[in-house]
Amino acid sequence: MGLEGRVDGNNIILGSEQMVSVEKRPGIPTFSSLVQVKINDQYRGFFEISHNYRKGMSEMIKSFALRFRIFLLSGDNEAEKKNLTDIFGSEKNLLFNQNPFQKLNFVKKIQQESGKVLMIGDGLNDAGALKQSDVGISISEDINTFTPASDAILDGDQFNHLPIFLKFSRISIRIIMISFLISFFYNFIGLYFAVQGTLSPLIAAILMPASSLTVVAFTIGFTTLVGKKLGLKL
């Protein structure tokens, strides 16, 4: 909700209307992101915050909406509702003035409806919801210092590449499953020759590590090839 502290003997409060206990005043924007200021129990004004969307966000949301249910959970007010409605296509899935507990409960609700949740967050107020989600991805400008309870941390500059990363992950899972099948058939054939007693110990000792190397080489080779085709630097 905000911050409170003492600076040079002055008690300073910065935050929401609830935090600062501000009454509705004429001239204060109704639909803007505001940081109210109170010093020594006297209201001094507010900062009005403008929003800048991340590069490629609009295209990414529209592409995801073709396959998934997309929701916006924001701690801000409805100042950006019109702009976000144009991006999301509908306002019914836009939820504003959400505190961390409401975000967490919303994720639980979707999961109880037999839905798996991937959540993307960029602040500590998203930490609980990120941890609760089946997959939590944190967007950070400095991936070396910001490590919330999430499954992955994505550099903010790479945010518009998220659809490619997800596609690469799906293909990688298929490659891993194929590698398990290769390993299974390799060992099945090897077991057949083993029970027949037709292989010498030396040949068996060579073929055993060769099976592992084959699976590893297959997995690395194909994931690298797929990554290059998708334009990823591996």
What does the DSSP assignment read for 183-203? HHHHHHHHHHHHHHT-S-HHH
**Residue 99 within a domain:** yes
DSSP 24: P
pLDDT at site 60:
85
144 and 79 within one domain: yes
Other beta carbons within 10 angstroms of residue 2's beta carbon come to 15
At residue 33's C-alpha, the angle toward residues 91 and 131, to 5°, is: 70
**Residue 223 within a domain:** yes
Q: Which residues pair with 38 in a beta bridge?
A: 13, 43
What is the rounded average pLDDT for all residues in the chain?
82
- Cα–Cα distance measured from residue 97 to residue 125, given in angstroms and rounded to the nearest whole number: 12
172 and 141 within one domain: no
pLDDT at site 147:
60
Number of domains observed in the structure of the chain: 3
What residue ranges of the chain have pLDDT lower than 50? 31
133 and 65 within one domain: yes
pLDDT at site 143:
62
148 and 65 within one domain: yes
pLDDT at site 107:
92
pLDDT at site 40:
92
Domain of 83: which CATH number? 3.40.50.1000
170 and 139 within one domain: no
Whats the size of the chain, residue-wise?
234
Residue 104 is part of which domain span? 57-160
Residue type at 216?
V
49 Cβ neighbours under 8 A, 6+ residues apart: 32, 33, 34, 35
**Residue 234 within a domain:** no
Domain final residue, candidates 130, 160, 190: 160
185 and 98 within one domain: no
Domain final residue, candidates 112, 130, 160: 160
pLDDT at site 234:
56
Q: Is the pTM of this model over 0.85?
A: no
186 and 145 within one domain: no
- CA-wise closest residue to 29 among 52, 50, 14, 12: 50
71 and 154 within one domain: yes
**Residue 203 within a domain:** yes
82 and 33 within one domain: no
**Residue 107 within a domain:** yes
120 and 61 within one domain: yes
203 and 141 within one domain: no
80-98: pLDDT as tens digits: 788 788 888 778 889 888 8
66 and 44 within one domain: no
Yes or no: say if 211 and 193 are a contact pair by the CB < 8 Å rule: no
Domain final residue, candidates 142, 160, 178: 160
